[in-house]
Amino acid sequence: MGSNNTRNLSPRQKMINLMYIVLTAMLALSVSSDVLDGFGQVDEGLSRSNANVESRNAVLLDRLEAVASQNPEKGGAWRDKAVEIHSMTGSLYALIDTLKLAIAVEADGEDADPGNLRHPENREASSVVMVTAPDARGKELRKAIERYREQVTALVSDSVKRDNLQRALSTDPMLRDGALAKRPWEEALFLSKPAVASVTMLTKLQNDLLYAEGEVLVALLANVDAGDVRVNELRAFVIPSSRNVMRGASYRADIVLVAVDTTQRPRVYIDGRRLDNDRGVLEIDASATGAFSYSGYIELPHHDGTVTRHDFESSYNVIEPGATVSAKMMNVLYAGIDNPLGISVPGVPQSSVSATMTNGSLSRH
């Protein structure tokens, strides 16, 4: 009887479903005018619910369209899938409308109105249209729903929601009317059922289609941002071109703001080996002089479970430590007088340089 899933239904929708179950049970006892009128009321309620769900789905589709217009690369593929599902839903919805009209015509004649049946108790109409006639449409509807179910569930990654859609669009054989064996889906729903009950069931199937379409649109909208990198911390970094600057040259540095997700630390690999810290700090012992290079990559996990790789490479120079000492006035030092000296260490500021000597003393000026 359609969906067994009630978790995502509104209280009003649950009440409609319950009314349908109660009315169907009463059919096993008798087909009074009150019961038939009850089916008509349920059908009206489902029709209003369908209109509301259609409006909600249209809003979701518009949001996907807006994202795709602003960023085609990011949202275009998801918008295209949404349009495809919307088209499939519309086609299947229209097919069900033709079946409701066919049952109404079989019961009331060419001028029939599915929403206002003159012979709602007619038990032959839905049987002929859906099951017993050579060109019966029940099997066609079942296969169409199965194709639709396969398409929509493939677009929903959440296992719970996917199971809910499987149940909502189930076409499995059913046990009906105290039978010992299960009957094909179309027979269980439409064989020897009053015309008004069959029309109401078809309206409920349309409601299930719209529910499924809405779940898919929500999933597609979530997928637009699923691969984005979330950040919860911003850090400022100064990256100099070089920490060693010759006098007369210019010091140059890039000052950048880095976004960091402290809950999803990237994995850094240098020359095939992963760094042993999660801060991306690289330390290399400079045990020999010369020019050296290294390369690696960063693996960044995303919240949708995917991982992207970002390659990098860099180089550095190692030079021998040294100091320069030079007499400023002459090449010899004389006892008893001040002898100015210049002492420097490449890459070290003067304020950080200190020196000592034997057989004499040094003072900074």
Residue 107 binned pLDDT confidence (cut-offs 50, 70, 90): very high
Among candidates 335, 121, 100, 53, which has minimal Cα distance to 203? 100
- 244 φ/ψ angles, rounded to the nearest 5 degrees: -110, 120
Q: Which letter, b or e, does each residue of 49-60 get, where b requires 16 or more Cβ atoms within 10 Å of its Cβ?
A: bbeebbeebeeb
| Cα–Cα distance for residue pair 24/13, rounded to 1 Å | 17
Residue 32 binned pLDDT confidence (cut-offs 50, 70, 90): low
Give residue 180's pLDDT: 75
| Cα–Cα distance for residue pair 124/132, rounded to 1 Å | 9
Q: Which letter, b or e, does each residue of 110-127 get, where b requires 16 or more Cβ atoms within 10 Å of its Cβ?
A: eebebeebebbbbbebbb
Q: What is the pLDDT of residues 175-219, one digit of tens each?
A: 766 667 889 999 999 998 899 999 999 999 999 999 999 999 999
Q: What is the pLDDT of residues 113-133, one digit of tens each?
A: 999 999 998 989 999 999 999
Average pLDDT over residues 12-28: 59
Give residue 355's pLDDT: 83
Q: First-to-last CA distance in the chain?
A: 98
- Among 63-77, 119-133, 230-244, which is the least confidently predicted range? 230-244
Q: Structural domain boundaries of the chain? A: 11-226, 233-318, 322-365
pTM across the whole model: 0.60
Give residue 305's pLDDT: 61
Degrees to nearest 5, angle at CA 150 with 149 and 154: 110
Give residue 210's pLDDT: 95
pLDDT exceeds 70 at position 304: no
Q: What is the pLDDT of residues 197-207, one digit of tens each?
A: 999 999 999 99
Range 46-53 contact pairs with CB under 8 angstroms and sequence separation of 24 or more:
46/16, 46/200, 46/203, 46/204, 46/206, 46/207, 47/115, 47/203, 49/12, 49/13, 49/16, 49/207, 50/203, 50/206, 50/207, 50/210, 53/207, 53/210, 53/211, 53/214
Among candidates 154, 38, 54, which has minimal Cα distance to 94? 54
Please say whether the beta carbons of 16 and 1 come within 8 A. Answer: no
